Amino acid sequence: MGVNVFRLPDLGEGLTEAALVRWIVEVGDTVAVDQAIAEVETAKSIVEVPSPYAGTVSARHGEEGEVLAVGAPLLEVDDGATGSGNVLIGYGTKERQASGRTRRRANGAALVPAAASAEPMSASSGPVAVRSPIVRRLARSSGVDLLTIEPTAPDGVIRRSDVLKAAADTTGPPESAPAELQVVRREPMGMLRKAVSERLTRSRTEIPEATIWVDVDATALWELRQAMGDSRPSFTAIISKFVLIALGEYPVLAGRLSADGSEIVEFDGVNLGVAVNTPRGLMVPVLRHAERDSIAALDTGIRRLADDAREGRLAPAELSGSTFTLNNYGGFGVDGSAGIINYPEVAMLGVGRMIERPWVVGGAIVPRRIVQLAMVFDHRVCDGGYAAGFLRSVVDAMESPASLFSRI
C-alpha cells in the first residue's frame, strides 16, 4: 500500500468541520489501528480521532487550533510497503508537498511542482508557504494579502494566527468604539460558540416566544430532600421528574413544529436536555426517553452527563435530539431569566436559586424556601393557558412533594 492518507472522517450529526485541538502523535511515531492520533473539537464536543491505518506517521496536516473540513487530509501513515499515497497538494512535509511530476533544475534541485504554481510569490522570499486552504479562505474573507504576512512559525508556514493578527493590525477599532480606545485583542469564536450563536439567533428570529414565571414555596421539598440523608438526589433530578410528569399531561410542550409550520408534532416520550456549564461554554446533553426513569436514575444520568460534558467526553449524539430543556441556573446565584428556546424545541423551563425569603403563611410573615420558575414557550404551538397549566403542575408537585413521592 505504501503511504495511506487518512482524511478527517464524517463525525456525524450533520457536522462538516472540526477544529484541531491537540496532536497525540508526532511524525515518526508508530501507530496501530484504532489508536488515537488527535483530538478535534466539533460544534458539539471534543472527541479523539482513531487511526484506521497501522504504520509510521509520515506527515501531519493542520496546526493545533486550525479548522479542518470533513474529508480534508489529517494524517499520513506509511505501512512500509512500496508505492505512494494520494497526498493533497499543499499539505505534508516539504519533501512530500505534492503528488505527481516534479520539475527539476539543471543541477538536480527540485522546483515547486507544476500543479502548485498558483502559490503566491514574494519578491523578497520566494513562494509564500501556506499549507491550509482554511488559511487561504480566512485571508480572502479578511481582506489580508498573504504576501504582506511575515510567518511567526520557525518553519516559515503561515498559520491561521498570523492571518488573524494581520487582520487585527489593519482593521483598527470598530466604528462603534470610541476613537480614543484601541483594540487590544481579537478572539475568534470557537466551534461551540459559533454553533450556539447560530442556534440562538435562529431561535430568536423564527420563534415568537413568550415567558411566564412564578415564585414557588419549595420549603416542603427542601425539608423532604434533607431528610433523605447522604444518598439524596439533586434538586435538578427531582425537578426533572416533576417536569416529565407534567409533560405527560401537556405533551405539546415536548413536541415540535413542522418545518413548514403547518403541523404540531408530538412524540411518544421526552428526550430531556439538561443545561450544563462547562469550560467550553453552555452545553445541553440529552437523557433519551427520560420519562421512563426514576428520580434515582435521572440523578445518575444527569451527574454522568454533566461530568462528561465538563471533561469533553460526550459523543456528538449525546448533545442532540432533545425535545425539552431544563436549565437550573440557581447555582450561579441567579433568581430568574427570560431564556431563549433551544431550537428546534418549543419550550424550556428555568430554575433559579432556592433561598430563604419572608413569605406570608396564614396571615403571618415567616421564612420560607422560595424559588422562581421561569418558562419560555413558542406561542405558535399553544396559548398561555396551556403553558400555565404545565407550569402549575410543576409548581404543585414542588409545593406538595410528599404525595407525589409516594407514587413514583
| Burial grade of 9 (CB within 10 A; 0-12, 13-18, 19 or more) | middle
Of 249, 210, 248, 251, whose CA–CA distance to 377 is shortest? 210
Q: Which residues contact 331 (CB under 8 A, 6 or more apart)?
A: 353
Distances (CA, A) of 358 to 203, 219, 368: 37, 12, 6
- Grid cell of 250 as nine digits: 401537556
* Strand, helix or coil for residue 404: helix
Contact 235, 301 (CB under 8 A): no
CB atoms within 10 A of CB 30: 11
Contact 376, 327 (CB under 8 A): no
What are the DSSP calls for 271-330, one per residue? -EEE-EEETTEEE--EETTGGG--HHHHHHHHHHHHHHHHHT---GGGGS--SEEEEE-G
Strand partners of residue 365 = 360
Contact 49, 74 (CB under 8 A): yes
What is d(CA 309, CA 312) in angstroms, rounded to the nearest whole number? Answer: 5
- Grid cell of 153 as nine digits: 512559525
What is d(CA 77, CA 37) in angstroms, rounded to the nearest whole number? Answer: 11
Contact 348, 203 (CB under 8 A): no
Q: Which residues contact 107 (CB under 8 A, 6 or more apart)?
A: none
Catalytic residue ranges: 379, 383
